[in-house]
A and B are shown apart, each in its own frame.
Chain A
Amino acid sequence: MVRYFLLLLIILSVLVIGMAGLRDYSFLPHRTSRPPIEIFPDMVRQDKVKAQAPSSFFADGRGARAPIPGTVPIGYHSPGTPDSAVMGGTYDVVLFSGNADYANTGKLGTNWGNGLPFAATPATLQRGQERYQIQCAVCHGATGAGNGIATKYGLVGVANLNQQRLRDMSDGEIYNTIVNGKNTMLGYGANIQAPDRWAIVAYIRALQRSQYATIADVPADQRALLTGTNPTTLIKP
């Protein structure tokens, strides 16, 4: 009888392990598409709306709500404040205005303007570089040549940012292209915040200069770094 008991125990154990699998880091990783069991879900799942979650409270079933026209969320600046004044020199400000002024539209009156709405610093360019590499380089490529990874997978018509037409384009129009897109490019206004868009504009200007740079553009005391010992970094004037 003891023998049967032990046999039953072993069979049951093997059965359980066979059906349930082992923890993730083992040789038999456990994967399931069934949601984890929650034994007492009353506090774990509360009647509140979390970010981007559905909600049966609203008719369209969405918890996330579009801003109501004429209102400003807490912590944002009122539409009456000029964006350029709000922005100062920092990137921490999120514009929520729909203001028609330059910092938000790239337009001075009816024409595209030039220049950043805040003072550009080396940090601006670094920020612009980071954002450019995240958001733009996928299509436009790291140097702006229009040869990003997406173009290797069949995306056509990506603009070369270093062409003369875009070098002559005003800052405001580039800003507007980032926000609203142009031709086959869709707008990135929902993905990039306003100060970052301007930082990207600044970085695109840097890219455009770099592509046409000669050794004469390099400060005299740093030319040795480029023409020095490592031939791969040699730039011919």
Chain B
Amino acid sequence: MSNFFPRWANWLPLQILICVLVAGAPVTLGIWYYFTPKYTRVGYQPIQPVPFSHALHVKQLGMDCRYCHGFVEVASHSNLPTTQTCINCHGEGKILSNSPRLAPVRESWKTGQPIPWVQVHRLPDYAYFNHAVHVNRGVSCYSCHGAVNEMSVVHEAQSLSMKWCLDCHRAPENFLRPPSEVFNMSWHPVSLARQMDIGTKLKQEWKVNPPVSCGGCHR
């Protein structure tokens, strides 16, 4: 019996191995890059029933976050405003009272049914985040929600992954700001060194000691 396999077949296993390795590198890179919350959650921008623009209301009109999210300082969740809060300004005979874009608001006001806003930032149900303790200790809205005052449509700006939470819990001085500036979305320290100065001082003054054990956030 003569040669069953041609001579080049001797190199075939090696060639296959090299191809798998060469193909494996981009696959690994792709998973590393795309299969984390930095990609899967950041940039989530649901279509809302009313095209409410934070850029208009906060940046242009200068409204405070707490005009609508009024109980963020006392409640565990940052409340969505009641329909009445919208109607305060957009009610009959008031601002843009006939705009078709506000039709769901008027409908809700008439029927008493809530506006079905789509939640953008959604933590897992086993993570217990408390807004009040964060904003009362100098963690700005900006730190977790990004520059909402620049967003005409809100999107998720941070990954909200556990690693991301712990980055701040382990070194809060990198993010703490004066209590008067927590709701000021355009307040930014002039430099990293300045942030460290402010943050370290506030951390000591208020004895900020964020939990890094499991029980801090998972019950």
> Footprint of B on A, CB under 8 Å?
2, 5-6, 9, 12-13, 16, 20-21, 23-24, 29-37, 43-46, 48, 50-54, 62, 94, 133-135, 138-139, 149-150, 153-155, 184-188, 190-193
Contact A32 B45 (CB under 8 A): yes
The 3 closest A-B pairs by CB, nearest first: A51-B77, A30-B43, A46-B125
B26 interfacial by beta-carbon distance below 8 Å = yes
Contact A133 B43 (CB under 8 A): no
Q: Give 7 CB contacts A-B under 8 Å.
A: A20-B34, A20-B39, A24-B42, A50-B125, A185-B88, A190-B84, A192-B70
Contact B125 A23 (CB under 8 A): no
Contact B33 A186 (CB under 8 A): no
Question: Would A48 and B125 be within 8 Å (CB), given that A23-B42, A31-B43, A184-B93 are in contact?
Answer: yes
Q: Give the complex CA separation of A31 and B80 in angstroms.
A: 23
Among residues of B, the one whose C-beta sits closest to the C-beta of A8 is B23
B52 interfacial by beta-carbon distance below 8 Å = no
Of B58-66, B167-175, B188-196, the segment with at least 4 beta carbons within 8 Å of chain A is B58-66
Question: Would A138 and B125 be within 8 Å (CB), given that A186-B84, A191-B70 are in contact?
Answer: no
Question: Which of B15, B22, B43, B77 is close to A32, meaning CB atoms less than 8 Å apart?
Answer: B43
Neighbouring A residues of B116 by C-beta, 8 Å: 54
Contact A186 B91 (CB under 8 A): yes
Contact A35 B67 (CB under 8 A): no
B209 interfacial by beta-carbon distance below 8 Å = no
Contact B61 A149 (CB under 8 A): yes
Among residues of A, the one whose C-beta sits closest to the C-beta of B48 is A33
Among residues of B, the one whose C-beta sits closest to the C-beta of A151 is B95
Q: Give the complex CA separation of A29 and B37 in angstroms.
A: 14
Number of B residues whose C-beta is below 8 Å from A? 52
Contact A52 B84 (CB under 8 A): no
Binary interface profile of B, 50-82, with partner A (CB < 8 Å = 1, else 0)? Answer: 000000000001111011001000111101111
Contact B40 A36 (CB under 8 A): yes
Among residues of A, the one whose C-beta sits closest to the C-beta of B155 is A31
Q: How far is the CB of B63 from chain A (nearest CB, A)?
A: 6
B30 interfacial by beta-carbon distance below 8 Å = yes
Neighbouring B residues of A33 by C-beta, 8 Å: 44-47
Contact A30 B30 (CB under 8 A): no
Taking A43-B126, A62-B114 as given, write out 14 further A-B residue pairs in contact, using a Cβ cutoff of 8 Å, ordered by the A residue number.
Answer: A13-B30, A21-B43, A24-B43, A33-B44, A33-B45, A36-B37, A48-B125, A51-B79, A134-B66, A139-B89, A149-B61, A186-B88, A186-B91, A187-B84
Contact B39 A23 (CB under 8 A): yes
Neighbouring A residues of B77 by C-beta, 8 Å: 50-52
Contact A133 B70 (CB under 8 A): no
Neighbouring B residues of A53 by C-beta, 8 Å: 119
Contact A13 B43 (CB under 8 A): no
B198 interfacial by beta-carbon distance below 8 Å = no
Neighbouring B residues of A13 by C-beta, 8 Å: 26, 30
Q: Give the complex CA separation of A45 and B123 in angstroms.
A: 9
Contact B125 A45 (CB under 8 A): yes
Among residues of A, the one whose C-beta sits closest to the C-beta of B146 is A24
Contact B67 A43 (CB under 8 A): no
Q: Give the complex CA separation of A35 and B46 in angstroms.
A: 7
Neighbouring A residues of B9 by C-beta, 8 Å: none
Neighbouring B residues of A94 by C-beta, 8 Å: 74
